[in-house]
Amino acid sequence: MTIATTFPLSFDVTPSTAQRATAERDAILADPGFGKHFTDHMVSITWTIDGGWHDAEVLPYGPLSLDPAASVLHYAQEIFEGLKAYRHADGSIWSFRPEANSRRLRRSATRLALPHLAEEDFVESLRQLIAADGSWVPSAPETSLYLRPFMIATESFLGVRAAQKVGYHVIASPAGAYFASGVTPVSIWLSTNYSRAGKGGTGAAKTGGNYASSLLPQQEAADHGCAQVLFLDSVEGVYLEELGGMNVVLVYKDGTLVTPESDSILEGITRDSILQLAEDRGHKVERRRVRLDEWVDGVASGDITEVFACGTAAVVTPIGRLIGEGIDVGSADATAGELTMSLREELTGMQYGRVPDRHGWMTRLDR
Ligand SMILES: *Cc1c(COP(=O)(O)O)cnc(C)c1O
């Protein structure tokens, strides 16, 4: 194995001796759920302060060996990404804007004081995993193989500073159709007791700590019969930020799409793509600060006709109702908005190869 950093990295492959039989894999792919089952292999690359990135490998899927003093376990120095591999009708396997995920991983790395992984190595890590586990990409409508790259501080050291040893891994999990019985609007809980991210904090980075702090408000949402939490800004508590893991878009009756802009929001690739598709159709798009009142008053007056959330896992989720302390707008049994559904259809059409890829967003992963 090479110790010095080579560019691009070359991967050693160790095939699993415990690969699932075809029948077992097919049974899983027939009803994969989300994040429950994992493929036969994983990617692992090591970084050290002296050696840079090295020891790029495809290994049998299995537990990581971490020293109990590994700093990720104590100080949460970790980042991740989430994207999907889609099977097209001709059997080929594609991902959607992986270079955008790679750029975001580097932005998150900067904020979490982790090393940068080159785009070429990031995309190659996905290709390597697909080369080993391509048969795990399902082919039923709206199914995919969810890819989860992540980076963790593995140095065993309890002092508080950026780790000098880091692991990058990619695991993959087959994903079923998110809305198996049709896309139906969800109710959202407005969190007024908790914020997702603070000014100058890590809100714009895809890091586990943001999720850790969203779990309690998420339970509060569930207690109120809601699927997700909407967070407001932490300074004034009046501006919309996002849901725990999805961005929010408001649609006005004149066709304008409005989405919150803030340096504590995680900038979704799904949102960016949806807004581009809307602009392509001639819709006006506004990325700006948005007050909660604007949503509440707009829905009440009829000026806002649709609201949706978006992110890789569910693509686009219509929001029917927003409830919270002293707030109740919309209706739980609203129907999904027309523009919401048509943008969803166009985006998934591109991802599954049914609609021409006019922006060059698709990258083939199986060679
Ligand atoms: C990943 C994520 C999103 C959605 O990003 P996509 O690139 O569209 O999947 C939105 N908010 C948060 C907090 C996220 O972690």
Indicate if the pLDDT at residue 190 is higher than 70: yes
**Within 6 Å (CB) of ligand 1, which residues are found?**
82, 206, 210, 242, 245-247, 266, 268-271, 311-312
**Mutation to probe ligand 1, out of 246, 259, 262, 343 (largest number of atoms < 8 A from CB):** 246
Task: For residue range 279-311, list pLDDT tens digits in order.
Answer: 999 999 999 999 999 999 999 999 999 999 999
pLDDT score at 5: 57
Per-residue pLDDT, 1: 44
pLDDT mean over 24-38: 96
Which of 108, 111, 206, 213 is the best mutation target for the ligand 1 pocket, counting ligand atoms within 8 Å of the beta carbon and taking the most? 206
Instruction: Kindly give the number of the ligand 1 atom that is closest to the alpha carbon of 100.
Output: 7
- The token duo for 211 is 């999720």
Q: How many CB atoms within 10 Å of residue 356? A: 8
Q: Whose CA is nearest to atom 5 of ligand 1?
A: 268
Beta-strand relationship, 144-153 and 83-87:
antiparallel
The span from the CA of 41 to the CA of 135, in Å, is: 12
DSSP 254-286: TS-EEEE--TTS---HHHHHHHHHHHHTT--EE
Q: How many percent of the chain have pLDDT more than 90?
A: 93
Please report the pLDDT score of residue 339 as a whole number: 97
pLDDT over 90 (residue 229): yes
Residues whose CB falls within 8 Å of the CB of residue 365, separated by 6 or more in sequence, listed in order = 85, 93, 94, 95, 126, 127, 130, 134
Residues constituting the chain? 367
User: How far apart are the CA of 247 and the centre of ligand 1, in A?
Assistant: 7
Mutate which of 188, 218, 312, 344 for ligand 1 pocket (most atoms within 8 A of beta carbon) = 312
Residue 72: strand, helix, or coil: helix
Q: What is the pLDDT of residues 191-208, one digit of tens each?
A: 999 999 999 999 999 999
Residues of the chain with CATH 3.20.10.10: 186-351
Residue in this structure with the two tokens 């190595």, named with its chain if needed? 121
Measured distance CA(186)–CA(207) in Å, rounded: 25
Residue ranges matching CATH 3.30.470.10 in the chain: 12-175
- pLDDT recorded at residue 332: 82
Quote the pTM value.
0.96
Residue having the nearest C-alpha atom to atom 13 of ligand 1: 245
Q: Which atom of ligand 1 is nearest to the CA of 206?
A: 15
> Residue 249: pLDDT above 60?
yes
In order, the DSSP letters of 161-183 are S--SEEEEEEEEEEE--SSTT--
* Tokens found for residue 281: 């159709």
Task: Indicate which residue's Cα is closest to atom 15 of ligand 1.
Answer: 245
Average pLDDT, whole number, for the chain?
95
Cβ(220)–Cβ(189) below 8 Å: yes
pLDDT digits (tens, 9 = 90+) for 78-131: 999 999 999 999 999 999 999 999 999 999 999 999 999 999 999 999 999 999
Whether the predicted pLDDT of 2 surpasses 70: no
Give the per-residue pLDDT at 3: 47
Q: For 63-72, 88-97, 105-114, 328-337, which range has the lowest pLDDT when averaged over its residues?
A: 328-337
Q: CB count, 10 Å around CB of 157?
A: 17
Is the pLDDT at 276 greater than 80? The verdict is: yes
Tell which atom from ligand 1 comes closest to the C-alpha of 244: 13
Q: Which of 240, 247, 269, 347 to mutate to test the pocket of ligand 1 (most atoms within 8 A of CB)?
A: 247
Domain 12-175, CATH among 3.30.470.10, 3.50.50.60, 3.30.390.10, 3.30.56.10: 3.30.470.10
- What is the pLDDT at residue 6? 63
Average pLDDT of the residues in 249-272: 97
Spatial separation of the C-alpha atoms in residues 288 and 286, rounded to whole Å: 6
At 125-182, the pLDDT tens digits run: 999 999 999 999 999 999 999 999 999 999 999 999 999 999 999 999 999 988 777 7
Average pLDDT over residues 221-250: 95
Average pLDDT over residues 359-365: 98
Which top CATH class is 186-351?
Answer: alpha beta
